Chain A
Amino acid sequence: MTTHDFLLEIRTEEIPAPVVAPARRDLARLVAEGLAEAGLAAASSESYGTPRRLILILRGLPEKLEDKFSEVLGPPASAAYDAEGHPTKAARGFARAQEIPVADLVVVDSPRGPTVAARRTIPGKPAIEILAAAVPKAVLAMTFPKTMRWGDGGRAFVRPVRGIVAVFGGQVVPFELFGVASGLRTVGHPVLSELGIRVSGPDEYFRRLRASHVEPDGAERRVKILEGARALASEVGGSIESDSDLASTLADLVEWPGVVRGSFAPEFLELPEEITTTAMRTHQKYLPVRGPSGLMPHFVAVMDNTEDRRGLIAKGNEWVLNARLADARFFFEEDRRQRLESRVPELSRLIFQDKLGDYRQKTERVRRLGETIAHAIGRFDLVEPVTTAAGLSKADLTTRMVKEFTDLQGVVGGIYARLEGQPEPVWKAIYEHYRPTGVGDEPPRELTGAILAAADRFDTLGGLFRLGLVPTGSRDPYGLRRAASGIVAIVIGRGWQVNWKPVAREALAGYVDLPAGGVEEGLAELEKFFAERLRNLLERRGNSHDEISAVIGRGVWDFADAADRASALALARRTTDFRSLVLAAKRIRNILGEAAPGYPDPALYREDAERRLAADFLQARALVDELNASRRYRDAMETIASISPSLDNFFEKVLVNCPEPELRQNRLALLGSIEKAFSRLADFSEIVVEK
Chain B
Amino acid sequence: MSAKLSRVITLQRLITDLTAYWEEKGCLIEQPYDYPMGAGTMHPATFLAVLGPDPWRCAYVQPSRRPADGRYGENPFRLGRHLQLQVVLKPSPEDVQELYLHSLERLGIDRTEHDIRFEEDNWESPTLGAWGVGWQVVMDGMEITQFTYFQQAGGIDLAPISAEITYGLERIAMFLSKVNSIYDIHWNDAKTYGELRRADEFQMSKYSFEVADVGRTTLLLDQYELEAQRCLAAGLVMPAYEATLQCSHLFNVLDARGAVSATDRVGWIRRVRNLACACAKAYLAAREKAGEPEPEPAAV
Contact = CB atoms under 8 A, between A and B. Distances in A.
Residue in A151, A159, A305, A350 with the greatest tally of chain B CB atoms within 10 Å: A151
Interface string B247-263: 00000000000100111
Nearest to A349: B261
A148 B142 contact: no
A160 B98 CA distance: 13
B118 A13 contact: yes
Nearest to B264: A351
Interface string A143-161: 0001111111111000110
B56 to A, nearest CB: 14
B159 interface: yes
B298 A192 contact: no
B299 A155 contact: yes
A135 interface: no
Contacts of A162: 94
Interface in A300-315: 301, 303-305, 308-310, 312-313, 315
Interface residues of A, number: 47
A150 B149 contact: yes
B231 interface: no
A304 B117 contact: yes
Given A155-B299, A313-B114, A351-B262, A149 B149 contact: yes
Nearest to A14: B118
Interface string B148-177: 010100000011110100000000000100
Contacts of A150: 92, 149, 161, 163
Nearest to B93: A151
Interface string A507-525: 0000000000000000000
Contacts of B122: 146
A539 interface: no
B135 interface: yes
A647 interface: no
A323 interface: yes
B141 A284 contact: yes
A330 B181 CA distance: 14
A603 interface: no
Nearest to A18: B120
Interface in A1-43: 13-14, 16-17
A354 interface: yes
B234 interface: no
B5 to A, nearest CB: 10
Interface string A248-261: 00000110000000
B149 A148 contact: yes
B233 interface: no
Contact of B116 (A160, A191, A308, A354): A191
Interface string A296-339: 00000101110011101101110111010011001000000000
Given A191-B111, A319-B175, A151 B140 contact: no
A42 B157 CA distance: 41
A301 B75 contact: no
B99 to A, nearest CB: 13
A320 B118 contact: no
B178 interface: yes
B181 to A, nearest CB: 10
A319 B176 CA distance: 11
Interface in A339-393: 349-351, 354
Given A16-B120, A154-B299, A351-B262, A316 B92 contact: no
B266 A153 contact: no
B16 interface: no
B266 A309 contact: no
B141 A151 contact: no
Contacts of A303: 115
B135 A14 contact: yes
Contacts of B77: 323, 326-327
B262 A315 contact: no
Interface string B91-120: 111100100000000000001111111111
Interface string A432-451: 00000000000000000000
B300 interface: yes
B88 to A, nearest CB: 14
A17 B136 CA distance: 13
A92 to B, nearest CB: 51
A313 B120 contact: no
Contact of B92 (A151, A284, A319, A349): A151
Given A155-B300, A305-B115, A330-B75, A316 B140 contact: yes
Contact of A313 (B75, B93, B140, B258): B140
B139 interface: yes
B96 to A, nearest CB: 8
Contacts of B142: 316, 319-320
Q: Is the interface of B mostly helix, strand, loop or mixed?
A: mixed
Contact of B76 (A253, A316, A326): A326
Which of B140, B151, B158 gathers the greatest number of chain A CB atoms within 10 Å?
A: B140
Nearest to A254: B117
A312 B175 CA distance: 11
Nearest to A253: B117
Contacts of A160: 92, 94, 149
- Residue picked from A146, A153, A308, A309, most chain B C-beta under 10 Å: A153
B238 interface: no
B114 A351 contact: no
A151 B94 contact: yes
B151 A315 contact: no
A326 B258 CA distance: 25
A626 B258 CA distance: 63
Nearest to B176: A316
Contacts of B141: 284, 286, 301, 316-317, 319-321
Contacts of A146: 122, 133
A304 B115 contact: yes
B118 A309 contact: no
A313 B158 contact: no
B160 A153 contact: yes
Given A146-B133, A316-B175, A350-B262, A310 B113 contact: yes
Contacts of A192: 112
Contacts of B75: 327, 330
A316 B262 contact: no
Interface in B255-300: 258, 261-263, 266, 296, 298-300
B114 A316 contact: yes
A312 B114 contact: yes
B247 to A, nearest CB: 22
A360 to B, nearest CB: 13
B151 A253 contact: no
Nearest to B139: A316
A495 to B, nearest CB: 39
A51 to B, nearest CB: 8
Given A312-B140, A315-B140, A327-B75, A153 B178 contact: no
Nearest to A286: B141
Contacts of B149: 148-150, 160
A354 B92 contact: no
A65 to B, nearest CB: 32
Contact of B161 (A149, A301, A313, A350): A149
Contacts of B117: 14, 253-254, 304
Interface of B: 75-77, 91-94, 97, 111-120, 122, 132-135, 139-142, 149, 151, 158-161, 163, 175, 178, 258, 261-263, 266, 296, 298-300
5 contacts: A17-B119, A254-B117, A305-B112, A308-B115, A319-B141
What are the 9 tightest A-B residue pairs by CB atom distance, in nearest-first order?
A316-B140, A153-B159, A351-B262, A16-B120, A303-B115, A148-B133, A153-B298, A317-B141, A14-B118
Given A284-B141, A309-B112, A320-B175, 5 more contacts: A301-B115, A313-B140, A319-B140, A319-B141, A327-B75
Interface of A: 13-14, 16-17, 51, 146-155, 159-160, 162, 191-192, 253-254, 284, 286, 301, 303-305, 308-310, 312-313, 315-317, 319-321, 323, 326-327, 330, 349-351, 354
